[in-house]
Amino acid sequence: MSVCSASCAICISPLLSHHQNAVSTPCGHLFHQDCLHKALISTKKKCPACRVHVSNSSVLRLYPDLSDETQTQNVVPPSPPRDLSYADSTTDPEELKAFIRSLNKDLLSTQRERDGAIGRAEQADERRSMVADELQVVQGDLTQQERVNAELHQTISRKETERNTSETRRHEVEGRLSQVYMREKKLKEDYKKLQSKLQRMQDIANISNNRELDEQDLRRMHQHHKPEELVVAQARSISHLNKEYRSLMKKVRWHFLSPSPPQ
């Protein structure tokens, strides 16, 4: 069935009229433009024939051939200008048919371009959705990495605190060891002093007891004793020798002067 013999699917009147514009929905149904406009308002953007969603931008206006269908169509006149005002200024049927064919050709080209743009837009939407999904995955990985980094920073901070505590304890132990070493050194020095003092006292006691001293004893005494200590020790020794000398002389006199010396 040609467009010329078709009727509006809403008002059932002939589709072609001097007062009505013929339009087509994407699903292929034909209507008068005014009838379809009213129907889309009442049916919430759905085709009155099949209930498929229809928007105003998807409705196509038709420019059918108005000549008698039995006329020959082998003659192709020159393409007229595509200005719509040209249809009002010419009365030649062949020129009008050529004008309508040109408009239909432009309409089909525009529709193909529109379909291509819709396809590209859908592909762009798919890519956008894929990118959004990938971005969500990357954001999840980034969040996980940030959480891991935060845990690592906490671990590093804890290790730093433990290291500082260990350093403080090490310094305290080193300070205590240094004090122990100093006390040990002082004790050794005090021990040497006491040992030297004890040796001097022993030497003085030997002198006081009139023990015979050899050369080594005398050399050691001169090394470890002060001169005044040696003088005091020598004086005590001389005093002790004098006492022994007087006692011995007394015994000798008694021996020579009396037959029986005192016991």
pLDDT along the chain (263 residues), means of 10: 70 74 87 86 82 85 60 43 52 72 82 83 84 88 91 91 91 91 87 76 62 59 62 66 73 63 49
Residue 19 falls inside a structural domain: yes
Residue 97 falls inside a structural domain: no
- Quickly count: other Cβ atoms within 10 Å of residue 213's Cβ: 15
Domain final position from 30, 62, 94? 62
**Tokens at residue 9, please?**
């699917």
- Quickly count: other Cβ atoms within 10 Å of residue 47's Cβ: 20
Residue 11 falls inside a structural domain: yes
Kindly report whether the global pTM for this prediction surpasses the value 0.85: no
Domain hosting residue 24, numbered range: 1-62
CATH number of the structural domain spanning residue 32: 3.30.40.10
Residue 90 falls inside a structural domain: no
CA distance 81 to 86: 7
Nearest Cα to 75, choosing from 92, 62, 88?
92
Residue 125 falls inside a structural domain: no
**Tokens at residue 162, please?**
């433990």
Domain final position from 12, 27, 62? 62
pLDDT at 71: 42
CB burial of residue 23 (10 Å; 0-12, 13-18, 19+): buried
Strand partners, 60: 24
pLDDT at 104: 83
Residue 56 falls inside a structural domain: yes
pLDDT at 221: 62
CA distance 51 to 53: 6
Residue 122 falls inside a structural domain: no
Strand partners, 53: 46
pLDDT at 150: 92
Residue 230 falls inside a structural domain: yes
Q: How many domains does the chain have?
A: 2
pLDDT at 26: 87
Domain final position from 62, 89, 113? 62
pLDDT at 147: 92
